[in-house]
Structure 1
Amino acid sequence: MLTSVDRLLFVRGVPIFKELRDDFLVRLASIMDELSFPAKHTIFTEGQEGRSLYIVVSGRVRVHLGDRDLAQLDQGATFGEMSLFDAEPRSASVTTLESCECLMLTQQQLYDAIDETPGIAVNVIRLLSRRIRELNQKLNAHEARLAEAALRGGIS
């Protein structure tokens, strides 16, 4: 369990919250729920309804589609944020690789926070844009490798 000071210091270091004022961070950090998960625990599954963002405080999680890993996230990483905005089912599953402590922010808590401090929305948009760019780069690199392999193998 984090003390309120530890929680504030931790949340201050999370990328989507870095540019926010301390008075706002104090409030935001105080309303987040603190959750503990054992190793190999599925936090949520692809297709499940979701209305919350998670922040890894300790431990590691894997983001995956079935058996295919998309990412491994550790301390300070966020996941689940897409469902906060589009109300669509989860696009992937998240399972703990080891025991984990997470902070959880619900959709309503975030909306209330955005009403108070609109800058948080810009930070979340930056995070989502960064993730889309990273996925595009991975996809482009994968397609380039496939094209190169096809040329070497004489496949057209």
Structure 2
Amino acid sequence: MLTSVDRLLFVRAVPIFKELRDDFLVRLASVMDELSFPAKHTIFTEGQEGRSLYIVVKGRVRVHIGNRDLAQLEKGACFGEMSLFDAEPRSASVSTLDACDCLVLTQQQLYDAIDETPGIAINIIRLLSRRIRELNRANSAQQSSSAQGSASQSTARNLDSNAVGS
């Protein structure tokens, strides 16, 4: 378990909270719960209703859809933030790779915090935008790689057919 000072220092270093005032961070850090999960534990599953954001304090988690890994997150990383803003079910599952400790912020705690300090909403929007851009880049690179592979196979077939025709 984190002491209140350690909790404040930790939350201050989390990207979505970096630009917030210390007085706000003290309040926010004090309302978050700390949960511990064993290794290979499912924290939540795709399709499940969710109303909380998690921050990894210790350990590593795996974000996945079925058996396909989307990301591995470590100390200081957030997950589950999308469910705080929409009423949609979780878009992916999150399971622990190691024993993990996480801080948890509920939707109501966040809304109360946004009422007091709207800057937190901007930070979360930036985080979500960054993640979408990273996914778009990864998807583009994968499509580009697939297209290059197809072009190489087509060139090889053309060379083979030209060699046979000679």
Whether these two folds match at TM > 0.5 is: yes
Task: State how far apart, in whole Å, the 2-side matches of 1:82 and 1:67 are.
Answer: 21
Task: State how far apart, in whole Å, the 1-side matches of 2:82 and 2:46 are.
Answer: 12
Deviations 1:10-31 (A, max 9, x none): 0000000000000000000000
SS of 2:83 mapped into structure 1? helix
Q: What is the identity, as a one-letter code, of the residue corresponding to 1:28?
A: L
| Counterpart in the other structure of 1:10 | 10
Task: State how far apart, in whole Å, the 1-side matches of 2:150 and 2:48 are.
Answer: 38
Q: What is the identity, as a one-letter code, of the residue corresponding to 1:13?
A: A
| Counterpart in the other structure of 2:111 | 111
| Counterpart in the other structure of 1:140 | 140
Task: State how far apart, in whole Å, the 1-side matches of 2:68 and 2:120 are.
Answer: 32
| Counterpart in the other structure of 2:93 | 93
| 1:37 corresponds to 2:37 | yes
Number of residue pairs matched?
155
Which entry has the higher C-alpha Rg, 1 or 2? 2
| Counterpart in the other structure of 1:49 | 49
| Counterpart in the other structure of 1:78 | 78
The percent of aligned pairs where both chains have the same amino acid is 79
SS of 1:154 mapped into structure 2? helix
Residue 87 of structure 1: how far off its partner (Å): 1.3
SS of 1:88 mapped into structure 2? coil
Q: Write out the 4+ residue segments of structure 1 that deviate beyond 2 Å after TM superposition.
A: none
- Specify every segment of 5 or more residues in structure 1 that has no aligned partner in the other structure, as ranges: none
SS of 2:154 mapped into structure 1? coil
- Specify every segment of 5 or more residues in structure 2 that has no aligned partner in the other structure, as ranges: 156-166
Deviations 1:70-115 (A, max 9, x none): 0000000000000000110000000000000000000000000000
1:112-131 superposed matches below 5 A = 112-131=112-131
Normalising by structure 1, what TM-score? 0.98
